[in-house]
Chain A
Amino acid sequence: MDLPRKRSPSEILRRGYSDEEIAHLYELGRFFLENGDIRRAEIIITGITEVAPDFAPAWLAMSYIHIQGRNTDGAIFAARQALRVNPGSAEATLFLATCLLTSGDLNSAGTYLGEVGEMIESGSVDDANIVRFYRAQLARFQSR
C-alpha cells in the first residue's frame, strides 16, 4: 500500500484566503483594538500577517500593537512592512515617522514626515485625521 505523499513546506503554506475573508478577519482584529483587547487583537493580526503578508492594514495594526506594548523595534519593523507593501501610503509613512521619533532617530523621522508633508501640500492626501496627526508629529519633531 502506498504511503501518503509527504507535503513540501511551500505546499503546506499555499492555501489562499480571499481578499474579502482577509478584510473581514482584519476588521475583527481592529474591533478588538478599539475595545482595548490587545491580546485577542494580536492573535488575529499575527495570523493575518502570516497568511496574507501583503495585506498592508494588518502590518499597520501590528505596528499599533507593538506601540501599545512599548516595543519600538517591533513597531518600526511592522510599519516598514506596511510601507513595503504599499509604498505611497501616508498612514504607513506616518506610523513609521512616529515610531522613529520615539526611537530617537530624528533624521529618518524628519525625512518621512517631510514625505507626508509633501503629500498633504500636493493635495494627494486630504484626510483630516491624517493631517491632524501629521501636524502633531511635526510639532513633536520640532520640539526635539
Chain B
Amino acid sequence: MKRPLYSSPEPFSLAPLLVLLPVRGKIGKLEALTSSLFARFEKVSALRREIGEDAEREVVRRLAAEEAMLKQVLDWLAVNPEGQ
C-alpha cells in the first residue's frame, strides 16, 4: 500500500534495530512502583555503605549499577510523575 507523500517516516526506516527490541512493559506503570523503588534505592545505598571497599569487586560493581539504575528511574519519576 502506498503511503502519503508527506506522512512521517515509519519507525523501521529510522532505526531498524531499535524496532527489533521487544516491548515488554509500560513506563506508565512505574509511578505505582515509586515507593518500592525508593525503598530498594535506600536499601542498596545502605548496603554499599555497609560493605564499603571490603567486598568483592564484582559485588561492589553490581550494587553500584543497581543504585545508579534506581536513582535514574526515581529522578525520571520526579520529573514525569504521570509516567510520561
Spell out A's residues near B (CB within 8 Å). Answer: 7, 9, 12-13, 15, 20-28, 30-31, 33-34, 40, 43-44, 46-51, 57, 60-61, 64, 67, 91, 94-95, 98, 129-130, 132-133, 136
**Which residues of B come within 8 Å of A, CB atoms?**
12, 15-27, 29-30, 33, 36-37, 40, 43, 47, 50-51, 55-56, 58-59, 61-63, 65-66, 68-70, 72-73, 76
Nearest Cβ on chain B to A141's Cβ, whole angstroms: 15
Contact B17–A67 (Cβ < 8 Å):
yes
Contacts A9-B59, A30-B21 given: A24-B69 contact, CB under 8 Å? no
Which of B22, B70, B76 is within 8 Å of A47, CB to CB?
Answer: B70
Known: A64-B17, A129-B20. 18 other contacts (CB 8 A): A7-B51, A20-B25, A26-B25, A27-B24, A27-B27, A33-B18, A43-B68, A43-B72, A44-B69, A46-B68, A48-B69, A50-B62, A50-B65, A50-B69, A60-B22, A67-B17, A98-B17, A133-B12
CB–CB B17/A133 < 8 A: yes
Report chain A residues within 8 Å CB of B12.
129, 132-133
Closest 7 CB pairs of A and B: A47-B69, A23-B25, A24-B25, A27-B25, A23-B24, A50-B65, A9-B59
Q: List 21 contacting pairs A-B, 8 Å CB cutoff, sorted by A.
A: A9-B56, A9-B58, A13-B59, A13-B62, A20-B25, A21-B33, A23-B24, A23-B25, A24-B26, A24-B30, A25-B25, A25-B30, A27-B24, A27-B25, A27-B27, A46-B68, A57-B21, A61-B21, A98-B17, A132-B16, A133-B17
CA distance A38 to B16 in the complex (A): 16
